[in-house]
Chains A and B, each alone.
Chain A
Amino acid sequence: MLNMFTHARRMAGRALVGAAALALAGGGVASAQETIKVGVLHSLSGTMAISETTLKDTVLFMVQEQNAAGGVLGKKLEAVVVDPASNWPLFAEKARELIAKEKVAVVFGCWTSVSRKSVLPVFKELNSILFYPVQYEGEESERNVFYTGAAPNQQAIPAVDYLMENEGVQRWVLAGTDYVYPRTTNKILEAYLKSKGVKSEDIMINYTPFGHSDWQTIVADIKKFGSAGKKTAVVSTINGDANVPFYKELGNQGIKATDIPVVAFSVGEEELAGIDTKPLVGHLAAWNYFQSVDVPENAAFIKKWQAFTKNDKRVTNDPMEATVIGFNMWVKAVEKAGTTDADKVIDALIGVTVPNLSGGFSAMMPNHHITKPVLIGEIKEDGQFDIVEQTPGLIVAEEWSPYLEGSKDLIADWRKPLSCGNFNVKTGKCGGAGQ
């Protein structure tokens, strides 16, 4: 209990110092020294550190760049980094700390859906802003959250379309880790495939636990499923750690991309850096950005990023791009609103358009999701992707999937007067609590 008092005492001390400083400066002038705090809520230890550490670096990089360009509203930005340690309740605690104690203006953070779900009530309660940079299952639109990753229709459906049209795939294996993103994505894909005339017996769905490492049986099953005479592909929503052994087993059992291609939604440049990619050449991934995108903006970004990390082999990936877009959007919205006040920035964000790194522009839509191009890439020997297809235009996120029973009548629009994340067009009511 003692430590509680020291804690309180130290906080008291800090408050006193602050008050004294304010009194000395005679008010107003102190703002020259003031910074705008930016919270970074990514796991630096534990199982998710593998993915999230890069995003922490990305935010730090963007903060440095922005400060070099003069900061925001004439103030410098200051990144406040915390480590929620891949522990979901700790995410909520740290979010509260960032907002209530550190008084950050915005938070960039979370990777897994569960971490986002965990911090959501905190952001709503304390009315702050979270930028969430990872592709996810959708079925959510919150006033305090801006989703710069892909919704299922911005990643999964174009990938399936590509395989159907270009590879003539008729049989589908939907393999995923057993959690909500693969479950939802596969539900959507199943409904989508059936709407395209694929029969039930031509769809095989398989779920595995987190970190599954023994893929012998499942890969053999896939091989069997694929030997029925029809062209077969695997749509993989396998998560992080389980991918390496999965791909290694594919290589071992001699499944080549020309026989049974695998299209993945969670495997990017960062993940490939840890795999011997030679046996994987030709397998696919669908993202909204690849490091190999051949446009000057991207080249410039990669150069600066590698200089920042002092590592000329450091790769970039899709969630990084989403973080960059989110960051730029926030800066633009703050400048537009002239303040970091959450309510005003939230309103200002809708409609903000910034360049993305694939040579186009992304806009924040009223559903708090952004428009994105969809890119399909084939894995190359060097661990990069060969972009084999790019959607001609930008795709608007369907945060509520029309392929799911529960959400087909829902839309989100955070502009006034609707201001609702789950408006039911059939009943004409804002479904849930919706502010």
Chain B
Amino acid sequence: MTSRARLFRFARLLCALALLCAAAPFGRAAAQDAGAPDISAPLAQLTTNKYDDTEAALGALALSGSPAAAGIVTALAEGKLVFGGTPPRLFIQGEAGALLDPLTLQPVAEAPAVKPVRVNNRVRRAIDAANGALSLVSPDAGKRREAALAVGRSRDEAALPALEAALAKESDPKVKSAMNLARASILIGKEGITPAERIAAVELVGAEGNQDALAILRSVPDSAAPEVKQAAADAIAGIERNLALWGMAQNVWYGLSLGSVLLLAAIGLAITFGVMGVINMAHGEMVMLGAYTTFVVQEVIRTSYPGLFDVSLLIAIPLAFVFTGLIGVLIERTVIRFLYGRALETLLATWGISLILQQAIRTIFGPTNREVGAPSWMSGSFEIGQLAITSGRLWIIVFSLLVFFALLATLRLTRIGLEMRAVTQNRRMAASMGIRTNWVDAMTFGLGSGIAGMAGVALSQIDNVSPNLGQSYIIDSFLVVVFGGVGNLWGTLVGAMTLGVANKLLEPYAGAVLGKIALLVIVILFIQKRPRGLFALKGRSIEA
């Protein structure tokens, strides 16, 4: 089907639904009215289970003016429109699976085996359009506004009458401006309007200043008057300037978001490697264990307490911390503690541990990805000006900073933090002052591992939960810690954010691969310049 034909069909549907709603506003009572139009033909069409038929039936239903149409459209959208029996009949699936007659909404006596009417993208769009048009006269102002925006996006001339009718009745200023904008979007490309009208439309759209407005302004027809074209060109130039600035801000935001992921990945390592000097190649696997903890928590919730799904991450965070922390303590007690002072050998041992952990997870959970869902409060996005911000990323930034400052506070303010610093600075002195260095070592390693586990909870939201998860972060983590300066938490924060933003600023110019390569080269060169990282501890040089 050509797009023109589809547009036409869409328009028809829109008008029809608008009329339908105007004629029979809200209420099922009308369904019982005598003389309701016969819609048996489209209903039969819906039972053939062919997309073309379904789409045609939607159109016919809308045109029919039947009061049952709205209910049927909604049922279709929700996958509750089913058919079955011989000859096939259409039903709406009600509560508890009861089959209802689509016209009367009464339960049917004999329920045949049924299948839902299939929906594909095309049908889904038709449903959206239908719902959109319905919503132009919805009592809910928010829905009316969204409908206006949808109409504006579709820029369908045929929708103009319905839009103008709705506009005349509209009182809410916000909705009104949205409808005006939609009208202007349609008018810009419409034939046979006066240049003054068109310029007004151009100005209205141009004031939006976003990507959509740009696309609309570019569609000013060639036949338009020169002053209209000039106005459009000015508006376009203005928007492009504006967007370039916003684009920069957007890239910085992406960079901060990437930086927060790097920070999360690296922060545990900043303890085990940065503070304790263990070249902890199993760090990535701690992150992975955290992610799998999330998976297990969600599985339990899914099967036993579905209502708790939205707080699954909040439950997983402490569990992941404790679980990976304990694993960390176990590793420290059984392996690492024999290797203090032999940093490079910790590399080998932890590399071995990482292999074992990966294979263990592979054996227990299988080699494939595991599904970790996003709670509702982490889905979706919003805009500040032209800056698109996704909630999930925002929460991850917030979380990474929370973890960072919590860790900083732990090290600065708590007894165990004090002991950790004492032990790393002068083990013998600390021991002679009665600090149980063994205990502190185990706790420190456990803390680093536990933090890695918490990072895993967050990373499960944006990456694969698979046995390979850890491997993809280990190199970046080391790079961040080294770039920031070993042994300096602030360095890790600044390092992560710097690398994140630099990566995202490079990416639009160099592409993802070359950008990453360029960044690696930059870090290598930077280390030449400052061989101890961004925040090197300065002081009287230590001899030999």
Contact = CB atoms under 8 A, between A and B. Distances in A.
A–B direct touch in complex (beta carbons closer than 8 A): yes
Nearest to A243: B464
Which of B51, B359, B368 counts the most A-chain CB atoms under 10 A from its CB?
Answer: B368
B467 to A, nearest CB: 7
Nearest to A214: B258
Contact of B513 (A207, A245, A278, A378): A207
Contacts of B508: 217
Given A50-B367, A217-B507, A274-B370, A208 B120 contact: no
Interface string B103-123: 000000000000000101110
Contacts of B461: 248
A388 B372 CA distance: 28
A264 interface: no
A178 interface: yes
B125 interface: yes
Which of A252, A275, A388 counts the most B-chain CB atoms under 10 A from its CB?
Answer: A252
A216 B254 contact: yes
Nearest to B155: A229
Contact of B512 (A47, A218, A224): A218
A214 B388 CA distance: 16
A228 interface: yes
A50 B368 contact: yes
B19 interface: no
Contact of A273 (B251, B369, B511): B369
Contacts of B381: 252-254
Contacts of B464: 241, 244-245, 274
A167 B371 contact: no
B466 interface: yes
A207 to B, nearest CB: 7
Contacts of A206: 511
A217 B513 contact: no
B368 A273 contact: yes
B369 A209 contact: no
A227 B155 CA distance: 13
Contacts of B379: 251-252, 279
Given A50-B368, A258-B128, A252 B3 contact: no
Given A166-B1, A220-B250, A270 B120 contact: no
Contacts of B261: 214
A209 B120 contact: no
Given A209-B513, A241-B468, A49 B1 contact: no
A408 B219 CA distance: 40
B504 interface: yes
Given A168-B3, A211-B472, A258 B463 contact: no
B399 to A, nearest CB: 15
Nearest to B214: A227
Contacts of B369: 50, 244, 271, 273-275
Contact of A209 (B121, B124, B215, B512): B512
A270 B504 contact: no
A257 B393 CA distance: 21
Given A207-B511, A253-B390, A213 B463 contact: yes
A391 interface: no
A214 B262 CA distance: 11
A388 B49 CA distance: 11
A231 interface: yes
Contacts of B367: 44, 49-50, 53
Interface string B246-258: 0000110010011
Contact of B388 (A45, A220, A388): A220
B368 A254 contact: no
B465 interface: yes
Interface in B454-488: 461-468, 471-472
B219 A229 contact: yes
A276 interface: yes
B436 interface: no
B1 A270 contact: no
A261 to B, nearest CB: 6
Interface string A230-256: 010000000001001100110111100
A47 to B, nearest CB: 5
A257 B124 contact: yes
A209 B122 contact: no
Contact of A252 (B120, B251, B392): B392
A319 interface: no
A282 B468 contact: no
B158 interface: no
B214 to A, nearest CB: 8
Contacts of B468: 46-47, 50, 241
Interface in B207-257: 211-212, 215-216, 218-219, 250-251, 254, 257
A244 B463 CA distance: 6
Contacts of A214: 254, 258, 261, 503
A170 interface: yes
A228 B2 contact: no
Given A45-B359, A49-B362, A217-B504, A248 B513 contact: no
Nearest to B51: A388
A286 B219 CA distance: 34
A274 B372 CA distance: 7
B513 A45 contact: no
A244 B291 CA distance: 14
Given A50-B367, A217-B508, A227 B388 contact: no
Contacts of B390: 252-253
Contacts of B359: 45
B371 A216 contact: no
A168 B2 contact: yes
B263 to A, nearest CB: 13
A253 B388 CA distance: 8
B462 A170 contact: no
A386 interface: yes
A201 interface: no
Nearest to A251: B379
A212 interface: yes
Contact of A248 (B218, B462, B466): B462
Contacts of B87: none
B3 A213 contact: no
A165 interface: yes
A45 B1 contact: no
A223 B277 CA distance: 45
Interface in A178-222: 178, 206-209, 211-214, 216-218, 220
A214 B251 CA distance: 12
B372 A167 contact: no
Nearest to B126: A258
A253 B215 CA distance: 19
Nearest to B512: A208
Given A167-B121, A167-B122, A227 B211 contact: yes
A275 B461 CA distance: 10
Interface string B1-14: 11100100000000
Contact of B3 (A170, A224, A388): A170
B84 to A, nearest CB: 15
Interface of B: 1-3, 6, 51, 118, 120-122, 124-125, 128, 211-212, 215-216, 218-219, 250-251, 254, 257-258, 261, 358-359, 362, 366-374, 379-381, 388, 390-393, 461-468, 471-472, 503-504, 507-508, 511-513, 516
25 contacts: A53-B368, A166-B51, A168-B6, A207-B511, A207-B512, A209-B516, A212-B512, A214-B261, A216-B504, A217-B504, A220-B250, A227-B212, A228-B218, A229-B218, A244-B464, A248-B392, A248-B461, A257-B124, A274-B368, A274-B465, A275-B369, A276-B373, A276-B374, A388-B118, A388-B120
Given A53-B368, A229-B218, A258-B124, 15 more contacts: A50-B368, A166-B120, A167-B121, A207-B511, A208-B512, A214-B254, A214-B503, A216-B258, A241-B468, A248-B374, A248-B461, A248-B462, A254-B381, A257-B124, A276-B374
